[in-house]
Amino acid sequence: MPNGRRPSGPSATILHADLDAFYASVEQLLDPSLAGLPIAVGGGVVLAASYEAKAYGVRAGMAGWRARQLCPDLRTTGGHFREYQRLGDEVMKVLDDFTPLVERISIDEAFLDVTGSVHLFGPPAAMATEIRHRVRTEVGLPISVGVATTKHLAKVASQVAKPDGLVVVPTGTEQDFLDPLPVGLLWGVGPVTRTQLASRGIETIGALAAASPSMLRHLLGRANGAKLGALALNADPRRIETTRRARSMGAQSALGRRRVDDEVLRVELGFLADRVATRLRAKERAGRTVTVRVRFVGMRSVTRSVTLPAAISATRSLAEIGVTLAQQALADHPDEREITLLAVSVGNLVPDVPLQLELPLDLGDALPRPGTEAGAARWALDRAMDRVRDRFGRDAVGHAALMLREGGVPDEFRELAEADRDDR
């Protein structure tokens, strides 16, 4: 535990529990002969890697051929998706035994508020130790836990604890703990932001905490600069939310290294739009803001977005908007002809109201509104496909170009990994 200032303020009763290299650890659990070996889930694209493989530089999203170059002894497995879900649920049941205040944020991680459980199970550190013991003995998987006063700090602590460890940040020592850590451990700092900060000599959380707010706003934008500056000072007022309504829904596809043209955009963004729109309709939601992210070689990304006059949940409409936005992004970067990732998300979510037919007035809309004749046809087609898929499975029916799409990440893995994104 870090030592430092005298305890003051709220108690460290927020836990972040995060299973270690979850998908790869499940494969090693199911096949003990893989224990201790460098393994990757997936073939053409690495979906997940064990710590033994990560030591060679193998990472999720990497092309399979590149992973084998880095680690010639790499073992690959296709993935056991039902087991991932089952074991992830079993871990959550263990967490539920300690407190009703559990916020599951993905298949393999969750926050807990154990303030009301101290009189039953002892101090938060003791609960964290017992959680790790039970998950290891009852489920068979390693899990790291961070304990702190805020969600943000608990998550940072769990990352420091990896693999298979426990880190407690006592009240009053938060800044002593954070200051020397690399800025990349902060929630929301990716490769691009890390490079931007490094250009100003900011490589640690302490340096970020000491930076001028105006400089951060100028460098990172008003919202992101303010958010990261606050997190560097452990200013995080968020509470544990046991039920959440998604603010946006999205999906992404790692492409390896692909030369881009209109056909690639049409197929890949059509595939992503199908996934996102299906999830929107399943939750009876629609959205007005569509955002597309294009990542080039070298991890540099650009985004383009549009806010529509009416909310949509139609697959084809979302795909058409996505292609247009991606084409705009590429037109603004004519020297970039290879991409490594595409992503699409829908925000400004509202309830998806029942279809209401509209008079055939020419309102100048670029897309068919749901109540027009063309929009109604899309509405009916989507819901007919949804009913068939609900009964016979996702592969039973689909748009021809998407059904014939080759390669990529298995649908089962996407269904586990794609969570309704709450813009934290």
Active site members = 109
At 344 the three-state DSSP class reads strand
- Tell me the residue length of the chain: 424
Q: Which two tokens stand for residue 339?
A: 């991409």
Rg (alpha carbons) of the chain, rounded to whole number? 23
What helix, strand, coil percent values describe the chain, rounded to 5? 45, 20, 35
Name the E strands within 149-197: 166-168
Residue 132: count of CB within 10 angstroms of its CB: 20
Task: Judge whether 408 and 258 are in contact, CB under 8 Å.
Answer: no
389 CB-side CA count, 13 A:
17
Q: Identify the DSSP state of 45.
A: B
Which one, of 10, 8, 28, lies nearest residue 19 by Cα?
A: 28
- Residue 284 dihedral angles phi and psi, to the nearest 5°: 55, 45
Q: Which amino acid is at 53?
A: A
Q: Which helix (DSSP H) or strand (DSSP E) does residue 400 occupy?
A: helix 400-403
Which one, of 300, 186, 255, 245, lies nearest residue 407 by Cα?
A: 255
- Residue 348 dihedral angles phi and psi, to the nearest 5°: 55, 55
Task: Judge whether 169 and 5 are in contact, CB under 8 Å.
Answer: no
Name the E strands within 194-284: 249-259
| Burial class of residue 66 (count of CB atoms within 10 Å of its CB; 0-12, 13-18, 19+) | middle
